[in-house]
Amino acid sequence: MARRLSGLPRRQRLIGLWLLLSGVSIFGGATFALWLDSLFHPEGLARVVLWLGCFSGGGTIFLVGLLLERQLFTPLRHLQVQLARLVANPDAREDYPPEGWLRGLGPDLVRVREAWRTDRGRLATAHAEGARSAARIRQELETLLQVLDTPLLLCDHHRRVLLFNQAAEALFEGHHGLGLGKRLETLLPASSLQDALAQLPADGAPREVLVPSDERWLRAVLRRVPSSNGETLLTLTDTTAAWTSEMGARAELLDSLPRLRRHTASLASAADALTSLGDAAGDMRQRLEAVIDEESQSLGQDIEQLGQLVERMQHEGERLVPLWSNDLWEALNERGGDAACRVVPIGMPAWVKGDATALLVLLGSLLAELRGHAGHQELEGEICLGNRRVYLDLVWRGAPLGEGQLAEWQQVRLEDLPLAPRVADVLRQHASDVWSLADADGEHARLRLPLPATERVGAPRPRTPPRPEFHDFGIADLPAPDAELAARPLRSLEVVAFDTETTGLELRRGDTVISVGACRVVNARLLASDIFDVRVDPGRPIPPASTAIHGITDDDVAGAPPLPVVLPRFRDYVGDAVILAHNAAFDLLALQPPGAGVALDMPVLDTLLISRALDASLDGHDLDSLADRYGLSFPPGTRHTALGDARVTAELWLALLPRLEARGIETLEQALALQTSALDKEDACAS
């Protein structure tokens, strides 16, 4: 157990002791003066001297205490704050220069600070060239990794994620198992993958394994990185469509081939036998002709089925992907470049399924045909929903196209596509056709192209920028995940800082959570984009007094999941991490109401208690006071938001780390013992 840190007594205790001694002395002096006055009955100057002499002790104590408070104790506390800032950040602002009787330390403190900064500057200068070159190489490699379309994961020998790229982030969108320092088995728990990783050769030879991930099948190529400390590179490919095709239409196609061979052999044998019979054996001839007729019909049916299977393979092909209609129109306009014949989207956009490249070339050819028919005018593009189909319509003012024109156009070859297929071939690939019809207003006509529909609804999500932190090779140097947690160094802990917003402060009387926010610290590094930020439906109105603090209204939580749904998600996000909060008792009580069913039984660090233990003589251990003390800032609009307060709590933890280490507190066990020593319920306050 770590002993409670010694330091200046609390200011309240000093002031109380000072006032008590002064009061006792003054009261005693007054009592003594009254006794002497009644005993000797002095008059004039003697009486004044008597009373002054009796009050001199208490007055002296009062004046000396006031002098010490202003000239010594207050400067000492200011010096303590300034030194705490310097330990946390050598470049912290200097709000408290030495004052009072410590004023003479000013030049020395400035000299120490400047020498510290000078040494840091010299060290930075010594490594400038190497760092500049390394930064350039790192930037180029990071850019290369992020633009690769192949999802990549790099794991250490403990199977913790050291690196991932944006393609991997898109592949596992919304999965809390992806993140720096997280275990690979939480992302891909398949036992086949774990077995393959355990048997990888050290020479970098690849191994392939098919891994299930939710409702998808991923092909993983595994390679041990040569001359490394057991790191493994995984490249992933979503093979769901190809696997479905292999198990679906292609499998049926393979099954149909023996039947076709059997029918062909039967027809050939019957034809040879019929030829050898000549005009004799009329009964045998009839039977052979019946066999030929039967086999011909079966062969025709199988060939028809074969054609349908080929069409299914085309429709199930990986080239037919979901396309957002507005993106299709925009790409078509950019491809055409002719402002006089642009397509203006109208109506509601929708998803269609198609080969984007082939559709763009086909529509470009169609626009060229329409330009000769309708003249140089803007066309309108409209998406109409049908029964299992989506109709892509091009609308213009004028008469419909004739059947002859459409038939002629379908024979045009699209030279911009490989093998120059005909328009009819691309239409067949999409199981589509094309026709033209007049609108009901008698002024407009349209050309209609039916395309396969998709179950996807809603506009596409905006493309999120890549995470600023997607690699950290220092994770490989951390202790093994199964190492004793209590003895693990503080800097190697995986920490999840969290905060909650509630309908009120009376959790035992019905107040509950309306927002949970959390962020992750890995390898003493705050991962700004690895976050958990969820609104919660409290099942009751939010009082206006609470809304005035955190800004969350009933409309903001309408449709949000309830707490029993959010808690398992939050527990999955925490994983094996230690949790951190400011005044953790309140937030833990909020997240674990009676009957919650989800236990947060991991170790808990509390920055409120740690700060009180480090600076027991200082006032103000609430989050605002500590943020000001350590130069931490709340971005506009983030104070009293769950995620905003969680991020500042994480930054506060990183600022407290060097101060803990300076006092020999380097392990989780020591930090927990320190905060236990500071537990004082009457001083606890909400953040």
Domain residue limits, the chain: 9-147, 150-318, 321-452, 474-686
pLDDT, position 2: 42
Q: Is the pLDDT of residue 202 over 70?
A: yes
Six token digits for residue 677:
């020593």
Q: Are 516 and 531 in contact (CB under 8 A)?
A: no
Q: Are 99 and 75 in contact (CB under 8 A)?
A: yes
pLDDT, position 681: 42
Go through the chain and tell me how many residues it has: 687
Exposed (0-12), middle (13-18) or buried (19+): which is 481, by Cβ within 10 Å?
Answer: middle
Q: Are 520 and 532 in contact (CB under 8 A)?
A: no
**Dihedral over Cα of 634, 636, 640, 641: its sign:** negative
* Least-confidence region, from 24-38, 340-354, 520-534: 24-38
Amino acid making up residue 398: G
Q: Are 617 and 81 in contact (CB under 8 A)?
A: no
Which tens digits make up the pLDDT trace of 559-592? Answer: 899 999 999 999 999 988 999 999 998 999 899 8
Where residue 520 falls among pLDDT bands split at 50, 70, 90? very high
* Mean predicted confidence (pLDDT) in 641-661: 93
pLDDT, position 9: 60
The DSSP annotation for 613-666 comes to: HH-TTS---SHHHHHHHTT--PPTT-TTSHHHHHHHHHHHHHHHHHHHHHTT--
Question: Is CATH 3.30.420.10 the classification given to domain 474-686?
Answer: yes
* Mean predicted confidence (pLDDT) in 635-655: 91
pLDDT, position 252: 60
Task: List, as own/partner pairs, every contact residues 73-78 make where C-beta atoms lie below 8 angstroms and the sequence separation is at least 24, other chains included.
Answer: 73/8, 73/11, 73/14, 74/99, 74/100, 75/99, 75/100, 75/101, 75/102, 75/103, 76/8, 76/102, 77/8, 77/11, 77/617, 77/618
Identical fold at 150-318 and 321-452? no
pLDDT, position 580: 96
What is the C-alpha separation between 37 and 52, in angstroms, rounded?
Answer: 12
Distance of CA 331 to the CA centre of its chain: 30
Range 240-252 burial, b when 16+ CB lie within 10 A, else e: bbbeebeeebbee
Which position has the higher pLDDT, 198 or 376? 198
Q: Is the pLDDT of residue 684 over 50?
A: no
- Which pairing describes strands 435-438 and 389-397: parallel, antiparallel, or unpaired? unpaired
Please name every residue paired with 381 in a beta bridge, in sequence order, or none if there are none.
345, 394
Collapsing DSSP to helix, strand or coil, 481 comes out as: coil
**Number of CB atoms found within 10 A of residue 589's CB:** 13
**Number of CB atoms found within 10 A of residue 375's CB:** 12
With tokens 């991997």, the residue in question is 168
Amino acid making up residue 506: E
End-to-end Cα spacing for the chain: 27
pLDDT, position 685: 42
Q: Is the pLDDT of residue 603 over 50?
A: yes
Q: Is the pLDDT of residue 625 over 60?
A: yes
What is the C-alpha separation between 9 and 4, in angstroms, rounded?
Answer: 13
Distance of CA 490 to the CA centre of its chain: 24
Q: Are 490 and 479 in contact (CB under 8 A)?
A: no
* Least-confidence region, from 339-353, 463-477, 507-521: 463-477
Distance of CA 641 to the CA centre of its chain: 17
pLDDT, position 515: 95
What is the C-alpha separation between 154 and 188, in angstroms, rounded?
Answer: 13
Task: List, as own/partner pairs, every contact residues 428-437 make where C-beta atoms lie below 8 angstroms and the sequence separation is at least 24, other chains included.
Answer: 428/311, 428/314, 429/314, 429/317, 429/320, 429/355, 429/358, 430/315, 430/320, 430/354, 430/355, 430/359, 431/311, 431/314, 431/315, 434/406, 434/410, 435/406, 436/400, 436/401, 436/402, 436/406, 437/400
Six token digits for residue 663:
């006092």
Q: Tell me the pLDDT of the chain averaged across its residues.
A: 81
The residues, ordered by sequence, that sit 6+ positions from 27 with a Cβ below 8 Å of its Cβ are 58
**Percent of the chain's residues with pLDDT above 70:** 85
CATH for the 150-318 domain, from 3.40.50.620, 3.40.50.2300, 3.40.50.11440, 3.30.450.20: 3.30.450.20
The half-sphere exposure of 249 on its side-chain side, counting CA atoms within 13 A, is: 16
Q: Are 480 and 522 in contact (CB under 8 A)?
A: no
Six token digits for residue 628:
């000001």
- Which pairing describes strands 525-535 and 321-324: parallel, antiparallel, or unpaired? unpaired
The DSSP annotation for 511-576 comes to: --EEEEEEEEEETTEEEEEEEEEEE-B-SSPPPHHHHHHH---HHHHTTPPBHHHHHHHHHHHHTT
* Least-confidence region, from 231-235, 468-472, 491-495, 633-637: 468-472
Which position has the higher pLDDT, 81 or 513? 513
Range 403-442 burial, b when 16+ CB lie within 10 A, else e: eeebeebbebebeebeeebebbbbbbbbebebebeeeeee
Which tens digits make up the pLDDT trace of 381-433? Answer: 999 888 778 999 999 888 888 888 889 999 999 988 887 888 988 888 888 88
pLDDT, position 309: 62
Which tens digits make up the pLDDT trace of 455-510? Answer: 777 777 766 666 667 777 777 777 887 778 888 999 999 999 999 999 988 888 88
Beta strands in 189-342 (DSSP E): 207-213, 216-224, 232-238, 321-324
CA dihedral 245, 249, 251, 253 (to 10 degrees): -140
Which tens digits make up the pLDDT trace of 107-155? Answer: 777 777 777 777 777 777 777 777 677 777 777 777 787 778 889 999 9
Exposed (0-12), middle (13-18) or buried (19+): which is 539, by Cβ within 10 Å?
Answer: exposed
What string of H, E and C letters represents the secondary structure of 489-523?
Answer: EHHHCCEEEEEEEECCCCHHHCCCEEEEEEEEEEC
CA 298-302-308 angle, 5° bins: 150
pTM: 0.63
Which position has the higher pLDDT, 523 or 86? 523
Q: Are 3 and 46 in contact (CB under 8 A)?
A: no
pLDDT, position 184: 92
Q: Is the pLDDT of residue 670 over 90?
A: yes
* Least-confidence region, from 155-164, 509-518, 631-640, 662-671: 631-640
Amino acid making up residue 485: L
Q: Are 492 and 523 in contact (CB under 8 A)?
A: yes
Exposed (0-12), middle (13-18) or buried (19+): which is 262, by Cβ within 10 Å?
Answer: middle
**Number of CB atoms found within 10 A of residue 146's CB:** 15
pLDDT, position 574: 92
Q: Are 520 and 498 in contact (CB under 8 A)?
A: no
Question: Is CATH 3.30.565.10 the classification given to domain 321-452?
Answer: yes
